[in-house]
Amino acid sequence: MLKKVEITNFKSFNEKFTFDLSDTSDFDFNPECIKNGIVNTGIIYGANGCGKSNLGLAIFDMVSHLTDNDFIKEKYMNYLNANSNKNKAFFKFTFVFDEVEVIYEYSKKDYQTLISEKLTINNQEIIFIDREKSTKFEVDIEGAEHLQNDVGNSGISLINYVANNTILKDTLSNQTFNSFRVFVDKILLVKTLDEIFYIGYENGGSDIEDDIINRANLKDLEEFLNRAGIKCELKATNINGKDRILSIYDNKEMLFWEIASSGTKALIIFYFWYQRLRDDKDISFIFIDEFDAFYHNEISRSIIKKLKEITDTQIILTTHNTSNISNDLLRPDCYFVMASDSIKSLSNATVQELRKAHNIEKMYRAGAFE
């Protein structure tokens, strides 16, 4: 699981910005939202421009050099903070796998130019390089003792270099090293507000309609939309070799995607990824930016309830919809208030002791949280 994120000099983050998912409280309700003391389902609130989207991009920056998965380069063009005179961005991610802590630190000049990397497992530094000082790296991994330790001008990540050029012994440290790599390979960022894109998880993508039909989930999608208040009857067809979804009416059939509203399309895209969360169970971490921008309040709440059932995936959402701030859905240490220079859970943003009976949305609207 992702435990903590620390970012410096990346996009809107000038000074060090810390997002700590392990600073939880001892609430006795909605325990499924916390896993091993770390937030498993969380929602971030904040004013426009405070950096919610950039936080997601910061977390998924590592996709560019640790995986071969889809990565939207255009989102990383203005890489360094415009107010800083530093020439590189710094990232530090803390993970926990089976109670073993992993810290991955690196710096970059831009999304594709790695400068330094350090990987620490249980307080033991196992990989380190600083290319500004030397092209040689240090490695302390059983099975990598005879690995050529000079990467020259290559910009390859040492994590990949070690993994691809060694047969690692089956030790606890190496198992954790592999768990870290698998986790990063299966993280996913999704956004559907002003544009539709995703980062991570797979390479090449899938056609939404074709994927739903081939998974035999079309009837389930129809029921999902009907429960959301979108009355429809759907069936599959094939046009020019591609599976497509038709909406059935009394007198005709129409291509569903062409007549769907923005909100309906957003729901279909959510369902497209929800299939993987529910059925494949291999997404390790998902960040859905402005997840309910097109949804009615009741639909938004139902989406959160559905996501809470996915306990195998760590889920972070961003939104402006304050009607979701409720102890009936999550708990105060799983709701976060973000400003441009900090982020705090509701439980840490007030000196008041919070209880399940509190109307925390009303408190939020009244300015009770920093």
**pLDDT of the chain along its 370 residues, tens only?**
999 999 999 999 999 999 999 999 999 999 999 999 999 999 999 888 899 999 999 999 999 999 999 999 999 999 999 999 999 999 999 999 999 999 999 999 999 999 999 999 999 999 999 999 999 999 999 988 888 888 888 889 999 999 999 888 899 999 999 999 999 999 999 987 667 789 999 888 778 999 999 999 999 999 999 988 889 999 999 998 889 999 999 899 999 999 998 888 888 988 999 999 999 999 999 999 988 777 777 888 888 999 999 989 999 999 988 889 999 999 999 999 999 899 999 999 998 889 999 999 999 998 888 7
SS3 337: strand
Within-domain flag for 120: yes
- Same domain? 208 vs 197: no
Q: Can you give the pLDDT at residue 194?
A: 66
Q: CB–CB of 97/106 below 8 Å? A: no
Q: Encode burial over 335-365: b for 16+ CB neighbours within 10 A, e otherwise.
A: bbbbeeeebbbbbbbbeeebeeeeebeebbe
- Same domain? 77 vs 91: yes
Within-domain flag for 77: yes
User: Residue 61 and residue 211: Cα distance in Å, rounded?
Assistant: 27
If one counts the domains in the chain, the total is 2
Within-domain flag for 119: yes
Cα 82-88-92 angle, rounded to 5 deg: 110
CA 240 to chain centroid, in Å, comes to 35
Instruction: Measure Cα distances from 184 to 81, 104, 310, 366 in Å.
Output: 25, 11, 18, 39
- Same domain? 311 vs 195: yes
- Same domain? 13 vs 108: yes
SS3 51: coil
Distance linking the first and last C-alpha atoms of the chain: 27
Q: Please state the pTM of the whole predicted model.
A: 0.93
Domain finish residue from 279, 307, 324: 279
Q: Which domain holds residue 262?
A: 204-279
Within-domain flag for 122: yes
- Same domain? 113 vs 239: no
- Same domain? 78 vs 188: yes
- Same domain? 144 vs 79: yes
Within-domain flag for 208: yes
Q: CB–CB of 285/188 below 8 Å? A: yes
Overall size of the chain counted in residues: 370
- Same domain? 86 vs 232: no
Q: CB–CB of 225/233 below 8 Å? A: no
Domain finish residue from 255, 279, 303: 279
Domain finish residue from 279, 312, 329: 279
Which helix (H) or strand (E) covers residue 57, if one does?
Answer: helix 52-59
Is the Cα dihedral 252, 254, 259, 263 positive or negative?
A: positive
- Same domain? 242 vs 114: no
Within-domain flag for 370: no
- Same domain? 209 vs 299: no
Within-domain flag for 164: yes
Check which CATH number belongs to the domain holding 307 and give it: 3.40.50.300
User: Residue 55 and residue 236: Cα distance in Å, rounded?
Assistant: 39
Instruction: Measure Cα distances from 194 to 115, 125, 160, 187 in Å.
Output: 33, 42, 34, 22
- Same domain? 247 vs 153: no
- Same domain? 228 vs 320: no
Within-domain flag for 131: yes
Dig out the tokens for 91 from the structure: 């990232």
